[in-house]
């Protein structure tokens, strides 16, 4: 599937690759930020909007692609078989707004921690699907992880 070069999701999807999540950070990711927006008469929505359109996430069954920036852009990719640990974070404010965050520890040298913050998705279900996809990708690539202590 070819996409236009300026398209935020310009990275190609390989055959057999399934998109688990694609989107941006929620405009108002937590209840506290909603209150702040209300108290500032909506002015605080401008930096929240800028943050939400400034980062785009795509999580597939083989990799995580993060595109950040509006004027100058940076594309970062981490293959799923490099993920070593997962954390789903949902504060009370995020649970009230239906958002959450994922924190992933990786074996990648340039990106040891991947933070997918404030997304409008069921992060617990996404967490489970991501774990299953990671194990399937490790099996597909014949990757074995050995802990030395």
| Measured CA angle at 81 (ends 95, 141), to 5 deg | 145
pLDDT per position as a tens digit, 62-73? 999 999 998 899
First to last CA, the chain: 44
For residue 7, tell me if it sits in a domain.
Answer: no
Average pLDDT, the chain: 88
Between CA 27 and CA 96 the distance in angstroms is 14
In a domain, 122, yes or no: yes
How many Cβ atoms sit within 10 Å of the Cβ of residue 148? Answer: 3
Please check whether residue 8 lies inside any domain of the structure.
Answer: no
The CATH number of residue 125's host domain is: 2.30.29.30
Q: Which residue range is the domain that position 78 belongs to? A: 19-141
Counted domains in the chain = 1
Q: Say whether 132 sits in a helix, a strand or coil.
A: helix
Q: Is 3 a domain residue?
A: no
Answer whether residue 6 is part of any domain.
Answer: no
pLDDT tens-digit map of 22-76: 999 998 888 888 888 888 888 888 888 988 899 999 999 999 999 999 889 999 9
Cα separation, 77 vs 19, whole angstroms:
14
Q: In the numeric block, which tokens belong to residue 113? A: 């921690």
Question: In the prediction, which pLDDT does 10 show?
Answer: 47
| Dihedral Cα 6, 106, 19, 61, nearest 10 deg | 130
Q: Is the distance from CB of 54 to CB of 6 less than 8 angstroms? A: no
Closest by alpha carbon to 64, among 112, 109, 116? 116
2 occurs within a structural domain:
no
Contacting residues for 40 by C-beta, under 8 A, at least 6 apart: none
Establish how many alpha carbons lie within 13 A of residue 72's alpha carbon, considering only the half-sphere containing its beta carbon: 0
């Amino acid at each position: 599937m070819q996409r236009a070069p300026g398209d935020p999701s310009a990275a190609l999807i390989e055959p057999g690759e399934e998109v688990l999540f694609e989107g941006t950070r929620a405009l108002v990711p937590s209840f506290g930020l909603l209150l702040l927006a209300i108290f500032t008469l909506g002015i605080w929505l401008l930096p929240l909007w800028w943050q939400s359109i400034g980062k785009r996430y795509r999580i597939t069954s083989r990799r995580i692609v993060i595109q950040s920036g509006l004027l100058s852009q940076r594309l970062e990719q981490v293959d799923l078989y490099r993920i070593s640990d997962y954390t789903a974070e949902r504060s009370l404010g995020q649970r009230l707004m239906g958002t959450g965050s994922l924190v992933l520890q990786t074996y990648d040298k340039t990106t040891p921690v991947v933070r997918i913050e404030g997304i409008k998705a069921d992060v617990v279900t996404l967490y489970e699907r991501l774990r299953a996809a990671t194990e399937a990708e490790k099996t597909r690539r014949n990757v074995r992880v050995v802990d030395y202590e």
